[in-house]
Amino acid sequence: MESKLLDNMIKSTKNFNEKELCGTQGSPQEMIYNFYIICLTLELLTMTTMMNGNIVYKIIDPDNGFANELNDHILQSKIRTTEYSSKFLSKLEKFPKNYRNCDPFDKDKHIRNVTYTEMSGLYQRVLFYSYNILKDTGCITCDKANFTEGIDAKKCYSELEKPPTPWDEKGVPKDLEKCTTPRNCAGTVSRCRALKNPEFCTLTNNIRRYQWLRDLDANIDENQFGHRDFCDGLTQTFKVGSSGYSSTCPYCFCTCGDESPNSTAVNTVSLMPSLSDVAKNRVVIGAKIIVQKNILYLQVREAKIDKNYKIAKDGPDRWVKINDIFNDVKESRLKSNCDIKL
């Protein structure tokens, strides 16, 4: 086999338009593998035909001497088969891997919890004003902050010149303009860094807390997070102030480990089986991942089969109800995370 053919196939796949990288035809790796199977099948078909012809020829002319020629053909076939394997394997790793089966190319076709879902909020950065971030502590040093017992502050402080705003029962500030975050951290707080003059875009009805954030009193390139092209929420700017203890309170930009029993993050996967009702002659015809009470579940769709082992057209298909494990998970966290304040 000429390697140029495989090289041309590699070249052609690299020139694919991105829109053509999705479909039911398979990836470039599948294409080359199927071509390999075709070559082996043709080789096998050729040898089978020659063997059958030799048997017929022996009946007609037993002394034709074709048996020796057939043995040579079998030997050559083995050599070619070995070469196929070697050349295909050497080229396979060079084929492009930027292929996703049936993945919509247009980003607008992706809809959260329709075409995809994801974990969210397990580890997010959150901005706190360091004054009274813990109960009756005054200012703290951000670089040394590591709150394994969670946040104990009952109110959200943004500036000393402004009165604080309390958190509601879901950890949302009563007055967003007086708070540095749209959602409190219901877990551990660690890996903090100090910011003097933060400007940020706060998101309210979103799995993320911020769209972008930067420190106006520092190098923008090194202290900007996210693309500051526009803001889908509320743009806020705060500055450090005097705490009354003749010291300056910085803002702490920390990592929130949202893993407490009161967590609002989607950070748990259910391993409970999702099965069709085989006792009622039902089989699985589909599956999807859903989020319910911040837990990821695998949910299957079932349908009835008829006597010919086909999906019954007159029988309704339905999504099987999942087993809710929310209360069990919360109870488990209450026991394992007893050091985190609720």
Cα–Cα separations (whole angstroms), residue 177 to 9, 115, 149, 237, 333? 59, 35, 27, 10, 33
- Give yes or no: residues 86 and 146 share one domain: no
Please say whether the beta carbons of 60 and 66 come within 8 A.
Answer: no
Please say whether the beta carbons of 219 and 178 come within 8 A.
Answer: no
- CA–CA separation, 231 vs 226, rounded Å? 11
Buried b (16+ CB within 10 A) or exposed e, 93-131: eebeeebeeeeeeeeeeeeeeeeeeeebbebbbbbbbbb
Task: Count up the domains in the chain and report the number.
Answer: 3
The tens-digit pLDDT sequence of the chain (342 residues) is 556 777 777 777 666 655 555 555 566 677 778 888 898 899 889 888 887 877 777 777 777 666 777 788 888 888 888 888 888 888 777 766 655 555 555 656 777 777 788 888 888 999 988 876 766 567 778 887 666 655 656 788 888 777 889 988 888 999 998 899 999 887 888 888 888 889 999 998 888 899 999 998 877 667 788 888 889 999 999 877 544 544 578 899 999 888 777 777 888 899 999 999 999 999 998 899 999 998 999 999 999 998 878 888 777 889 999 999 998 888 887 766 544 443
Exposure on the CB side of residue 134, measured as CA atoms within 13 A: 14
Last residue of one domain, picked from the residues 247, 265, 283: 265
- Give yes or no: residues 150 and 277 share one domain: no
- Give yes or no: residues 251 and 147 share one domain: yes
- Give yes or no: residues 198 and 261 share one domain: yes
- CA–CA separation, 22 vs 257, rounded Å? 37
- CA–CA separation, 199 vs 210, rounded Å? 11
pTM of the model: 0.59
- Give yes or no: residues 207 and 156 share one domain: yes
The pLDDT value recorded for residue 174 is 92
Helix orientation angle between 66-92 and 28-60, rounded to the nearest 10 degrees:
180
- CA–CA separation, 223 vs 212, rounded Å? 11
Position 102 in a domain: no
The pLDDT value recorded for residue 325 is 92
The pLDDT value recorded for residue 150 is 56
The pLDDT value recorded for residue 156 is 86
- Give yes or no: residues 307 and 294 share one domain: yes
Position 187 in a domain: yes
Burial of 253 (0-12, 13-18, 19+ CB in 10 A): buried
Q: Could you count the other beta carbons within 10 Å of the beta carbon of residue 2?
A: 8
The pLDDT value recorded for residue 245 is 45
- CA–CA separation, 203 vs 129, rounded Å? 18
Sequence letter at residue 327 = N
Q: Quote the longest CA-to-CA distance of the chain.
A: 114
- Tell me the residue length of the chain: 342
The pLDDT value recorded for residue 336 is 64
Domain that holds residue 78: 1-93
DSSP string, 80-98: HHHHHHHHHHHHHTTS---
The pLDDT value recorded for residue 96 is 64
Q: Could you count the other beta carbons within 10 Å of the beta carbon of residue 78?
A: 12
- Give yes or no: residues 258 and 282 share one domain: no
- Give yes or no: residues 278 and 253 share one domain: no
The pLDDT value recorded for residue 283 is 92
* Residue written as token pair 């470039």: 28
Extract the tokens encoding 187: 């877990």
